[in-house]
Amino acid sequence: MSADAPAVHDASSRRLRYLRIDATTMFSRSLRMMSRDPDELLLALILPIAIMLMFVYVFGGAMSVGTDYITYATPGVILLCAGYGASNTALAVATDMNGGIIDRFRSMPIVGATVVFGHVAASVVKNSVSTAVVLIVAVAIGFRPSASLADWLAAAGIVLAYVLAVTCLAAFIGVSVRTPAAAGGLGFVMLFLPYVSSAFVPPETMPAWLRGFAETQPITPIIESIRALLVGVGTGGSPVHDLGSQSVTGLAWCAAITLASLAAAACAFSRKGR
């Protein structure tokens, strides 16, 4: 027994080391693939910025939300930016799954799930950069956050949790669908979820049947938490008194979506390999 214990420990250490190497390799591969498609990177930055400018300068004057519209809408545009990046992740994963490269990877001594991990990790990095750019543009056109350093860190953590959640969901879509076109279509649907929330208008202005969904869907507590942390107000421009509850609810949604999507993506990946 004493002789077997070191051997088991060494085998486990080797597996972990190989897993780290595989994950790092696939992450680097996904980053290189992104860098070779500058059009996608450029569009990932231009689209959210264009949407922000449209809402602020085209629709903002007609919106009554109790505060400057750019103050109200910026958190929603940030999440919209993450949703667009996630839709590209679904397309990239589906392209891999439907190409010969996955069969090649399966014939090699690597952990297959690290292929999906590489796409997710690279997308999180890309979305974080594009989110920072969008925030810089928002400040340039009038967004004035009043957050402390602790508030900024908390808001960044919530945004990162949301980015990870939607990216994992997109990866599951990419693994599950049969064609890249289907992945692009389903991934693009995620772009519309922030519109039916408190991201751009208060839910109170919506019809009763739609208001219930807008108030209870996952994005609303995330939006309210980010808005309260950065500018200290919630829907309608009023102070937020339940920030803790909103944050816990939003983070719980993010954790549930992340874990469920990862588990479902792993199962779908294994099933396609049979």
**pLDDT of the residue at 255:** 94
Structural domains of the chain, count? 1
Q: Rounded to whole angstroms, how far apart are CA atoms 75 and 216?
A: 18
pLDDT under 50: residue ranges of the chain:
1-3, 236-237
**pLDDT of the residue at 64:** 72
Which residues face 239 on adjacent strands?
A: 233
Domain range for residue 45?
4-272
Which string of DSSP letters, residue by residue, matches the chain? -TTHHHHHHHHHHHHHHHHHHHHHHHHHHHHHHHHT-HHHHHHHHHHHHHHHHHIIIIIGGG--SSS-HHHHHHHHHHHHHHHHHHHHHHHHHHHHHTSHHHHHHHTSSS-THHHHHHHHHHHHHHHHHHHHHHHHHHHHTT------HHHHHHHHHHHHHHHHHHHHHHHHHHHHSSSHHHHHHHHHHGGGGGGGTTTTS-GGGS-HHHHHHHHHSTHHHHHHHHHHHHHSB-GGGPBPS-HHHHHHHHHHHHHHHHHHHHHHHHHHHHHHT-
**pLDDT of the residue at 237:** 47
Q: Determine how many CB atoms are found less than 10 A away from the CB of residue 238.
A: 10
**pLDDT of the residue at 25:** 80
Per-residue pLDDT tens for 100-144? 777 677 667 666 677 778 888 888 888 888 888 888 888 888 888
CA neighbor of 69 nearest in space, from 17, 1, 142:
142
CA angle 141, 131, 253 (to 5 degrees): 125
CA neighbor of 49 nearest in space, from 87, 10, 81, 6:
81
Whole-structure pTM value: 0.83
Q: Rounded to whole angstroms, how far apart are CA atoms 265 and 168?
A: 8
